[in-house]
Structure 1
Amino acid sequence: MDSRGVLTEAFGRITELYDGVAEGLDDETLHHRPGGTGNPIAWLLWHLARVQDDHIAHLAGAPQVWEDWQERFGLPNGTDDIGYGHTSEQVEAVRITDPELLVAYHHQVTLATARYLETVDDRELEREVDQNWDPPVTAGQRLVSIIGDCLQHLGQASYVKGLQQS
């Protein structure tokens, strides 16, 4: 398996896990905040899809999928808002009552990711994409970072879901 195949497999696993976490959620479970202040499943799933969307769009030089989905969610968040650094009040304001909307959005992000991955070769993986770090971040490093972030938030969402089912 080449690097493109490994990346495609990793992002495919993210989609499978995302769908599994979102399955069977009701409004209460979606918005439960562990300890009263923890991140709820709805926010975690929204945030990880937004990060993947934002970062892949940047790598691909393409518009974010969110531009076509923001209105469907009814959130005032622009394309710059991916949830990073949200206050507790901002987390609370992300109210999504339909887990299928989250799944559908993430599926579109997954398709955008797959289109980008079709272009990935060794040269693309070595391309510097962020000069704000020393050494600069490459596309390959950014992809690994996205995968790690998504898996971390999926683990958190699974944990919160499990707390509700206990």
Structure 2
Amino acid sequence: MNSIDVLVEAFGRVREHVHGTVDGLDEKGLNLRLDADANSVAWLVWHLTRVQDDHVADLAGTDQAYTGDGWADRFGLDLDPASIGYGHTSAQVAAVHVADPALLTGYYDAVHERTLAYLRTLRDPDLDEVIDDRWDPPVTRGVRLVSVVDDDIQHAGQAAFVAGIVQRGS
């Protein structure tokens, strides 16, 4: 197994977590906030997908699925389509209201397929390329991809926690 295979496997696990968390939740469960400032399952999954979409599209030099494939219109959120959720206020978190779990998993799957297609264009040496020298140390393509996987897994775990509470309470 090479480094690209490891990344494909890691992103595949994120997909499994997203589906395992979202499938079976209704509108109330998707949007429940455990307190007034907590993130809902809907927001967490939307956010992790937005981050992956944004960062991988940037690496691939392509448009994002959210804006390029019409997902922003399908979501119909009262947010700037460029928003990925970073730094959202409580009101912005609340604005991410999703009625149908298939919307979240559909968007994630579209981004996942774009991610896999991009990863399949890479070879191990590509991961060492510096893509952002504004940091110390500079960020390589591999570090950026690991950062995305790490962020996705953390948020998927948070969403699974909230979903578990929702399911035990129903």
Measure, in 2, the Cα distance between the counterparts of 1:57 and 1:6: 20
Q: Percent identity among equivalent residues?
A: 51
1:148 aligns with 150
Stretches of structure 1 lacking an aligned partner (at least 5 in a row): none
1:49 aligns with 49
Measure, in 2, the Cα distance between the counterparts of 1:140 and 1:2: 13
Amino acid at match of 2:45: L
Measure, in 1, the Cα distance between the counterparts of 2:53 and 2:80: 13
Alignment root-mean-square deviation, CA: 1.0
1:116 aligns with 118
TM-score normalised according to structure 1 size: 0.96
Moved more, 47-56 or 124-133: 124-133
Amino acid at match of 2:36: G
Question: CA deviation digits over 1:32-72, x for unaligned, max 9?
Answer: 11123210000000000000000000111111001121101
Q: Which runs of 4+ in 1 moved over 2 A?
A: 76-80
1:128 aligns with 130
**Would you say how many aligned residue pairs link Structure 1 and Structure 2?**
166
Moved more, 44-53 or 73-82: 73-82
1:8 aligns with 8
Measure, in 2, the Cα distance between the counterparts of 1:157 and 1:10: 18
Measure, in 2, the Cα distance between the counterparts of 1:90 and 1:79: 12
Amino acid at match of 1:74: G
Whether the 8 Å CA contact 2:41–2:162 is kept in 1: the answer is yes
TM-score normalised according to structure 2 size: 0.94
1:85 to 73, 84, 87: 87
1:40 aligns with 40
Stretches of structure 2 lacking an aligned partner (at least 5 in a row): none
